[in-house]
Amino acid sequence: MPSTTPTAQSLMKLEIDGRSFEASEGTTLDELFVKSFREGFKQGIAAKLNGKVVDFHTPIRESGRVELIPLDSPEGLRVLRHSTAHLMASAVLKLFPDAKLAIGPAIEEGFYYDFQVDRPFQPEDLAEIESWMHKIAEEDHPFVRGEMKRDDALREFRAKQEPFKVELIEGIPDETVSTYTHSFFTDLCRGPHVPRTRVLKSFKLLSVAGAYWRGDSNRPMLQRIYGTAFPNKDLLQQHLARIEEAKKRDHRKLGQELDLYSIQEDAGGGLIFWHPHGAAMRRVIEDFWKDEHLRRGYQLVNTPHIAQVELWQRSGHTNFYRENMYFLQADEKEYVLKPMNCPFHVLIFKRRKNSYRDLPVRIAELGTVYRLEKSGVLHGLARVRGFTQDDAHLFCTRDQVESELAQALDFARFMLQTFGFKEYQVDLSVRDAKRKQDYMGSDEDWALAEGALERVVQASGLPYHRAEGEAVFYGPKIDIKLTDAIGRPWQCGTIQFDFNQARRFDINYVGSDGQEHQVFMIHRALLGSLERFFATLIEHYGGDFPLWLAPVQARLITIADAQIPYAEEIRRILLDRGIRVEADLREEKMGAKIRDAELLKIPYMLVLGRREAEERTVSVRSRHKGNEGAVKLEEFVEKVVAESAARQ
């Protein structure tokens, strides 16, 4: 901060908490607080200057409004977690002085830092690193911001033998770069950071994973340490409890325990084998999906799994999506395993000339698609290479666009609520106006599409977030993220406006004037990928599915072989009424049979002994209510059929 009296030209006017102050250009907020008015003002962990997050060490070079950011706000948490990543890096260097530093950002629920080390980190290393983090934090070092010429920074980090930092600096176009120092540790960083290390008290290191430098498998493999941090110990403990609960609900673990699906190494990664129980549950989902679509005027179709490459060139996918596509040769021609269903639905729509009286046309398909995902991102059912998309494409006139969008959003809400999801958030994904070259279509197209989507979301009454730069290349979209039973968001349905396919495939209709007009086209998926949605259901319910979704709704348990004929009779009756039932006829103790059924989380167990067979009753054990006693067979059948039909 300059020591001379500021001139009129170098004065900045700042408004903080409704009060106005003057300061010299280059003054930091920390200097301003200490010098002028810390007492009586609400405390913050960082600040916003004209909407941009800065810390108390950043030189202020413009006038404007300053808002202090509380520690427990979303912005405050990001600052806290990024600072904790720096704290962790300093602790790593205490224990591993030869470690090379890469990057250490804050992420959604914590932070990570990437290192190049001689050997992989072990669990006991994390405990030692965490201990050193507490020691350094308690020493209460300030985070000191520094600035240096880019060339000076290159020399300094080359001298420190930090190749990843050197590469980062080489990619910075600015003449100066900033660093942050606490204790002995200096890192290349834009900030912002907390004022002092003692603020960092409630943190936990969680895991280690391998990560390629800059996500490139041809670059060095680094060690990534993940951690999390919160404003206080209680919030940290709550988060750690959620992590433990999430582990119990992990769909990969439960999928194996409940015998729902598998991924076979002999076949390859990211390819799902549905076992009888998983396939039974999937059939319930698909039948419900089809019935509801037919009820709402959709036409169901089935399309091939491959097509010639020219089709994908025409659709634009080879230009924007080539690295995620599978190519193969047949009959001296190049084919593609379909990554999307949309061009196929376009061809079906174009099979005949359509009048305005025919529109809207709604074409839907549970279509299996294939995408070449990198092996490092594959994750159970949630990220796969072959999956079924609950796809639909709506072909309509311009006047019908908003009505179709509104109906699609209402349909999505109905589906999610039926499956037991009551909370969800909506993102309105629009293009980044600074990168227009990455998107297809004119400015007029994008204004029309984004405006229509935003009006529909606003009319729905749903809170939404406008996500700049998250649109797909062919148009803006509404993304629906559901919230599961333990508060985690899952990407689910999407409603996408597409004005490019209609033009590329010359999709028209004959209007009331007898002339051809361009069709407007909407992409729509209510559940998204069935595989990912299945993973969501498993984790939301912890494998304890409601009766209508349960792979096995009832299991018959015989006490002795004498009851086998009665069990077979009941099984036939229940199967005839559409109930998914199995019979455990093993020569095993009843307690063991009940325990096995409980492990599979089967809603109803029907225990059959001599008395039940003589009196034509069933002894009902409910998963949630326990022993419900003997019930007449006909009474139980009607009860379970009614519950299933009501989707309970």
Please identify which of the residues 189, 342, 396, 492 carries the catalytic annotation: 342
193 is catalytic: no
| Contact predicate 6/24, CB 8 Å | yes
Q: Rg (Cα) of the chain, in Å, rounded?
A: 30
Helices (H) and strands (E) in the chain, counts: 19, 33
DSSP H helical ranges for 258-303: 276-295
Residue 608: partners with Cβ closer than 8 Å, 6 or more residues away: 556, 557, 558, 559, 563, 566, 567, 570, 618, 619
Q: What are phi and psi of 136, to 5 degrees?
A: -65, -40
371 included as an active-site residue: yes
Half-sphere exposure of 305 (CA within 13 A, CB side): 9
The residue length of the chain stands at 648
- Helical (H) or strand (E) element with 535: helix 530-541
- The neighbour count for residue 373, using CB atoms within 10 Å, is 16
Catalytic one among 282, 317, 362, 393?
393
Active site residue 523: yes
**Contact assessment for residue 102 and residue 164, using Cβ atoms and an 8 Å cutoff:** yes
CB 457 within 8 A of CB 478: yes
Question: β-pairing, 604-608 with 554-558?
Answer: parallel
Beta-carbon contacts of 102 under 8 Å, excluding residues fewer than 6 positions away, are 113, 114, 115, 116, 164, 213, 222
Q: Which of 371, 431, 524, 621 is catalytic?
A: 371
Instruction: Give yes or no for a contact between 532 and 412, defined as CB atoms under 8 angstroms apart.
Output: no
Options 389, 496, 553, 563, the catalytic residue = 389
| CA–CA gap between residue 540 and residue 193 (Å, rounded) | 36
Amino acid identity at 7: T
Choose, from 431, 477, 524, 540, the residue flagged as catalytic. Answer: 477
Strand segments, DSSP code E, in 566-648 are 581-584, 604-608, 617-622, 626-632
Which among 577, 609, 578 has a CA at the least distance from the CA of 593? 609
On the question of a cis peptide bond just before residue 192, with omega within 30 degrees of 0, the verdict is yes
Spatial distance between the Cα atoms of 164 and 214, rounded to a whole number of angstroms: 10
Annotation marks residue 393 as catalytic = yes
Is the C-alpha dihedral spanning 245, 248, 254, 256 positive or negative? positive
User: d(Cα 486, Cα 541) in Å, to the nearest integer?
Assistant: 10
Catalytic residue among 224, 282, 431, 523: 523
Q: Is 160 a catalytic residue?
A: no
Q: Which residues are annotated as catalytic?
A: 342, 371, 389, 391, 393, 477, 523
